[in-house]
Amino acid sequence: MKLLFDVHCQLQYTSNKSEIEKLYEVICVDHHPELPKGIKDPDIAQFAKKHGYTIVTKDVDFVNLCKQEGIPVGVLKGNRLYLISDSIQLFGEQLPNRLFTND
């Protein structure tokens, strides 16, 4: 699996880089020439789609964008990556923009 970490997840990646890279090909926003600092989510999503990456994020809006565009996406919590197969709003107000914020 090829993983593309957005800016919200890079700290967890960099602190466990050697373990993660044993099993996965990884790139990060702001650490790749085609993914500069400040790049917008739709551009990250299109890069991931074009190159076959699963996006790793904690951003609810980004998860929803990926699901709309058919791009694989996952949410990182501790040492677990939860792959999101769908995202629907069941009731009430919209969630805060970040998932699992107590990392």
Tokens of 2: 């090829």
pLDDT value at 14 more than 90: no
9 lies in some domain: yes
Looking at residue 96, what DSSP letter applies? P
50 lies in some domain: yes
90 lies in some domain: no
| pTM as predicted | 0.81
Number of domains in the chain: 1
Give tens-digit pLDDT for 39-83.
999 999 999 999 999 999 888 889 889 999 999 999 887 778 889
Q: Which domain holds residue 11?
A: 2-83
User: Which residues, including other chains, have CB under 8 Å from residue 21's CB and lie 6 or more apart?
Assistant: none
Q: What is the CATH number of the domain that holds 37?
A: 3.40.50
